[in-house]
Structure 1
Amino acid sequence: MPPVLHVRKKPVEVQAMGPLTPENRDEIAAWCNGKAEEAKVAGPGRGLVTAVVIHTLEGDMKASYGDYVIRGVKGEHYPCKPAIFAETYEAVS
């Protein structure tokens, strides 16, 4: 069995937009360079809710209202929940 490594992420700057709202949904989807679109997705319970679906390197991911959308170091986009965003990122400008 390989040893467990203790590692730290390299400090890199990425871009982010959000939090996602009904008012900025189209702007954030456009910022994703054609890799995001508004969609009806399964919400809590049995109903459908409007969200933004982002076509990521790992497959389609849902960005819900309140989420941030991040543009990574390779130009990829992915959603990030607000609590994770607050713990992981800080503004640089």
Structure 2
Amino acid sequence: MKYKERPSAIEATQWFKNGDHPKDDRETFTGSDGKPFLGEGKVVRYYRDPDVDGQTKCENCGSIMHNHGWIDQVNDLVVCPGDFVVSIMFGRYRVEKPNIFDITYEKCE
């Protein structure tokens, strides 16, 4: 049997850096030096892995891991700069590469 996807609208945001997602709602903190700084996003957090140095290049995009984001859920997701963060059911997300996103979706109002 063949199936086709039902036409539907999705919510998605192209992510380039921490704070890009509209639901990130970053808080401002005061650093030990007394200067304000923005915390990480609530949807796309800072990438961190104790086994991977932040200067390591990503196998998918070639950018250093320090420039990446992280979505903390059951199957943790790494977000490369330029990836689309797609909202799915129940406050969960998936990540799609721009080339796949562009052939799958078109902008609607």
> Same fold by TM-score, threshold 0.5 exceeded?
yes
Q: What is the alpha-carbon distance in structure 1 between the residues aligned to residue 106 and residue 89 of structure 2?
A: 16
Q: Which runs of 5+ in 2 are unaligned?
A: 26-40
What pairs with 1:3-82 in structure 2 (closer than 5 Å)? 5-18=1-14, 20-22=15-17, 25-28=18-21, 30=24, 34-40=42-48, 42-44=56-58, 48-57=65-74, 59-82=75-98
Large movers: runs of 4+ above 6 Å: none
Q: What RMSD, in angstroms, separates the aligned Cα atoms of the two structures? A: 2.6
Q: State the shift of 1:21 in Å.
A: 1.7
Q: TM-score, normalised by structure 2?
A: 0.61
Cα-to-partner distance string for 1:13-45 (whole Å, 9 max, x where unaligned): 110111x223xx2131717x8343111465337
* Structure whose alpha-carbon radius of gyration is higher: 2
Instruction: Pick the structure with more strand per residue.
Output: 1
Determine if contact 2:84/2:95 at 8 Å carries over to the other structure: yes
Q: TM-score, normalised by structure 1?
A: 0.70
